[in-house]
Amino acid sequence: MIRTLNRSIRFSYFSSPIPTSSHSSSALILHATFSDFTARISRRRRRKNNSPSPPPPDQSQIDASIASLPRRFTSSDLSSALARLPDPRLCIPLLLHSTHRRPQLVRSGDADASSLFLVAVNRLGSARLYRDMDSAAALAFSFSTSVSFPETFFNTLIRFYSEARWISKAIGVYKFMRHSRHAASRPTTRTFNLLFAALLGHHRGANSYIRHLYMDALRSLFRQMLASDLAPDLFAFNSMIKGYVLSLHLNDALRMFHQMVPVYGVSPDDDTYSYLIHGLCAQGRTRNARELYSEMRVKGLVPSGRACNSLISVLAMEGEVNEAVAALWEAVGMRKGPDFITSRTVVEEFCRQQRMVDAVEFIKEMRQKDVIDGHCFRELLAGVEGEYQN
């Protein structure tokens, strides 16, 4: 009976989207387009992992976990038992047995009722047993009419669904929160930040077109955040700016950047400037990038290594090799040493300007200061020699 119930609830809750208005959720529906792609990636990762899975709990283990409960157990007793289980996969059969034997635990308005499912979700999600965690979530939502779940429970689900790259399920939880009749279940700033991080991480490595589609979803979420009278924090702004940069919407990123302090009272940090500097350099907007770089240095902020490499490279490619070298040594002073491609870009510009001696001296100085290793040193010198022969 327990196995039958387990199979029946496993994918019962988020199999269909919760009805919402087309205006508020049109951008979010785009995520379903890429569910097949995510599934293929997950299957590919599972094929690479050749380690055998441990056998599922047998009936004797299930019976032992059930027998560990007191005769007249309470919600607190059940929570403690779930936390002590030697195998997290025993959470589902123990919850099914307990809620079937004593349904009043989750129907009487007990304040501890929601903690039962939070403990189970935490244990299963932390063990990366996402299918079992999804079953626990389905069981929890079957009692949603009588149990008021706090936003902590929903945020935990969103976090683990995001780790599993089940973005559509994470958004399904968010939609449920938005339409909950309980004020304590409504989305918070933490909820939106989890979704921002999930969407940005989900399209890592995607092309600009897919990033453009995901940016529509991010923009829609940000508007809903403001409509819910939730003030965006620094993480929300950095997520939006990073999303705009990745989707090549630099003007939108700059507009949001200039609204941070005067409109929302949020000061940018190192990441804010670094995202913008990298994006501006990628589009060849060197003057704007240098202005932001100077502004953040005046504030005592340190750019990321990626931003430093981008600025050094774009300065070199525009022929300002002396400025590129100065920026490189400043980056070294901030322990943001250049990568090999950036170093080679500067050396190539020296050679293009027929400054072979300066190129060799620059390479030697980088080696003396341990900016590059011996292999890179020989590679760069060989490149200069080839240019000199030509």
Q: Which of 184, 203, 231 is the last residue of a domain?
A: 184
Alpha carbon distance 321, 382 (integer Å) = 20
What is the domain count for the chain? 2
Alpha carbon distance 195, 4 (integer Å) = 33
Which strand (E) or helix (H) includes residue 307?
helix 305-317
The fraction of the chain above a pLDDT of 90, given in percent, is: 56
pLDDT in tens, 359-385: 999 999 999 999 989 999 999 998 888
Q: Which of 161, 184, 207 is the last residue of a domain?
A: 184
Alpha carbon distance 200, 211 (integer Å) = 9
CB 267 within 8 A of CB 261: yes
Q: Which of 121, 156, 184 is the last residue of a domain?
A: 184
Which single residue is written with the structure tokens 């932001």? Answer: 292
Residue environment code for 81-98, b if the CB has 16+ CB neighbours within 10 A, otherwise e = bbeebeebbbbbbbbbbb
Q: Which domain holds residue 165?
A: 1-11+28-36+72-184
- What is the distance in angstroms between the CA of the first residue and the CA of the last residue of the chain? 80
Residue 38 has pLDDT above 50, yes or no: no
143 and 2 share one domain: yes
Indicate whether 284 belongs to any domain: no
pLDDT in tens, 250-285: 999 999 999 999 999 999 999 999 999 999 999 999
The fraction of the chain above a pLDDT of 70, given in percent, is: 81
What average pLDDT does the structure give for the chain?
82
pLDDT in tens, 314-338: 999 999 999 999 999 999 999 998 9
* Mean pLDDT, range 72-97, rounded to an integer: 88
- Give the domain CATH number at 321: 1.25.40.10
